[in-house]
Structure 1
Amino acid sequence: MFNLRRLEVLRELKHRGTLAAVATAMSYSPSAVSQQLTLLESEVGAPLLERDGRRVRLTPQAEILVAHTETVLRQLDRAQAEIAASLQEITGTLRMAAFQTAMLTLVPAALTWLRDTHPAVRVEITQAEPDTALPALLARDVDLVIDETFPGHVSPARATALSHRVLREDPMRLAVRDTAVSSLSDLVERPWVMEPVGTPARQWAVSLCHEAGFEPDVAFESADMLVHARLAAGGHAVALLPDLLWCDRAPDVTLLDLASTQRRTILATVRTAAGDHPLVHTALAALRHAVEQVAATVGRHMGNDIR
């Protein structure tokens, strides 16, 4: 019979790519990781790793083992959820990851609700963009991810082992200082601020400009939406800003309404097998409460500032 802990080491290598990363994640030394994999190879009776330059890759036999290990871990997720549901009190630690604007707006409201309604629940949160957070969810580093998708752009990090709950459809609006601007076509020669190359937000923004018939002049690049808003307010750049950004203040830029389809979708994503865990249900309830509260505040702050 195979040793489950050794199977988990092999699975971690599949997800993390290097022995050093596995050692860090599992609090092992690199030599201990190598030893566990060597013992597993002896149990299996076939090579599990092969050299690929300076890295290693899994053999077909190792891929078979990882697939079955994933099945076992999903069953353990379900068992954990059933045991937690059988207890009278909701307790434990929930690990979350959230992208920046959700961290600034939804997370504080959700934490307040949880503190008031479920004081025995501990929440640990890391700020991370979806393309980093979703693999971490699959690797079991976190239990829930607040992530985002943009029209026509689905992250390759998504997997059938994950399930998604829509929290909010968040309009994206053009932010400019010049009130004479009325559409994207008026911005052909303007400098832009966008998120880094390769991110879904950047891909969506560039494709939006391409659809309007021009290549955007991206003079500024930042993953921080507050930087985008500051540059737009100063008249230094055009930005595409989410409504959620105006949770705690009124806009200080002119906001132009795009088509109703130009919205990012804010999601709560969990591993499917853990979706019935009471901690997950509690976190989802907190996030739904936060969305309602924040949406009302955003509406008050934006008022008639959209055209």
Structure 2
Amino acid sequence: MLDVRRLRLLRDLAQLGTIAAVAKAHTYTPSAVSQQLAVLEREAGVPLLERTGRRVVLTPAGVVLVRHAETVLAALESADAALADARGELSGPLRIGAFPTAVRTLLPAALVALGRDHPALELMVAELDPVAVPEALRERRLDVALVHDYDIMPVEPDRTVDAVPLLDETVFLATRSTGSDDDPIGTTRNADWIVGTPGTVCHAVTLQVCRAAGFSPRVRHHADDFDAVLALVAAGQGVSLVPQLATAQAPPGVHLIPLATRRHTKIAYRQGASSHPAIAAFVLAVQAATATYLAH
């Protein structure tokens, strides 16, 4: 019989790429991970890993087993959801991840509703960039999260994560000048830019939008908080891309020019967890909070 904990290690190796990364994710030593994977190979009766230089890669049999491991782990999530439903009252921790604009605009009302309707739930929010969410879900540091991507740079789906759509937003060019409605990005070719921290989704999207217009942005400032971004724009420090959720209180003098680019927000959770009553309650609460926010 294959051990579920070892299957999870193999699945995470397929996702993270190195034994060192798997060890860090599980707070094991690399040698402990290697030993557990060696035991899994003996259980499977076929080689699952092979070394290419200093790297370890999956054999064809290892790839097949990872696919089945994902099915098994999703089934365990579904079983946990069924047991939680059988217990009745929602209780215990619900670890929620979200990006900053969602924490500021959509989450507060959802948290109030969840606390009112399910007082035994322990709601815990962590602010993080969407690129970090799949790993945090796999490591069970999060149970559910709000994530986003952009139509100009869609994120490759993660097989370990399921998601439901929540919100589509217009993306604006924030600038001190009125710009051109025909080619607003093109008019910023010689402007200074305010972009997100390298490695974030927003940083990558800004580069992609400018490249699509035929130039690389001249980056002057890095800022991840859109209130700070808009303040810098108002101070004449550059231009930036800003999503709709961040534009409610734009400072005087900032012009917001709508672009064709859209930002898509989704609610993400581990594969198989959609029927967990706490996840379902969160989905309903944040959907209602989003509808209310947009109505105002």
Q: TM-score range by the shorter chain?
A: 0.7 to 0.9
**Which residue does 2:35 correspond to in 1?**
35
> Which secondary structure state, in structure 1, belongs to the residue aligned with residue 28 of structure 2?
coil
The answer to whether the Cα contact below 8 Å between 2:153 and 2:208 also exists between their aligned partners in 1 is: no
1:168: how far off? 1.9
Taking the TM superposition and a 5 Å limit, the aligned residue runs for 1:13-32 are: 13-32=13-32
Give the RMSD, CA atoms, in angstroms. 2.7
Distance 2:16 2:215 in 1: 39
Q: Which deviations, in whole Å up to 9, do the C-alpha atoms of 1:4-55 show, x marking residues without a partner?
A: 2222222232223333333333343433323222222222233332223333
The answer to whether the Cα contact below 8 Å between 2:273 and 2:279 also exists between their aligned partners in 1 is: yes
The answer to whether the Cα contact below 8 Å between 2:230 and 2:254 also exists between their aligned partners in 1 is: no
Taking the TM superposition and a 5 Å limit, the aligned residue runs for 1:120-269 are: 120-138=120-138, 140-156=140-156, 158-178=157-177, 180-183=178-181, 184=184, 185-196=186-197, 199-209=200-210, 215-246=216-247, 249=249, 251-259=251-259, 261-269=260-268
Please list every run of 5 or more consecutive structure 1 residues that lacks an aligned counterpart in the other structure. 300-307
Taking the TM superposition and a 5 Å limit, the aligned residue runs for 1:89-108 are: 89-108=89-108
The answer to whether the Cα contact below 8 Å between 1:134 and 1:145 also exists between their aligned partners in 2 is: no
Distance 2:28 2:214 in 1: 54
Distance change >3 Å, CA 35–CA 186, structure 1 → 2: closer
Distance change >3 Å, CA 206–CA 232, structure 1 → 2: same
> Which secondary structure state, in structure 2, belongs to the residue aligned with residue 174 of structure 1?
strand
Distance change >3 Å, CA 66–CA 135, structure 1 → 2: same
The answer to whether the Cα contact below 8 Å between 1:144 and 1:280 also exists between their aligned partners in 2 is: yes
1:145: how far off? 2.1
Distance change >3 Å, CA 17–CA 214, structure 1 → 2: closer
1:275: how far off? 0.9
The answer to whether the Cα contact below 8 Å between 1:175 and 1:253 also exists between their aligned partners in 2 is: no
1:113: how far off? 2.1
**Which residue does 2:294 correspond to in 1?**
295
1:130: how far off? 1.9
Please list every run of 5 or more consecutive structure 2 residues that lacks an aligned counterpart in the other structure. none
Q: Which deviations, in whole Å up to 9, do the C-alpha atoms of 1:52-94 show, x marking residues without a partner?
A: 3333222222222222111111111111122222232122322
1:154: how far off? 0.9
> Which secondary structure state, in structure 2, belongs to the residue aligned with residue 273 of structure 1?
coil
Distance change >3 Å, CA 186–CA 59, structure 1 → 2: closer
Distance 1:8 1:192 in 2: 43
Q: TM-score, normalised by structure 1?
A: 0.82
Distance 2:133 2:5 in 1: 24
Residue 41 of structure 1 aligns to which amino acid in structure 2? Answer: E
The answer to whether the Cα contact below 8 Å between 1:10 and 1:37 also exists between their aligned partners in 2 is: yes
Distance change >3 Å, CA 66–CA 251, structure 1 → 2: same
Residue 188 of structure 1 aligns to which amino acid in structure 2? Answer: R
1:280: how far off? 0.9
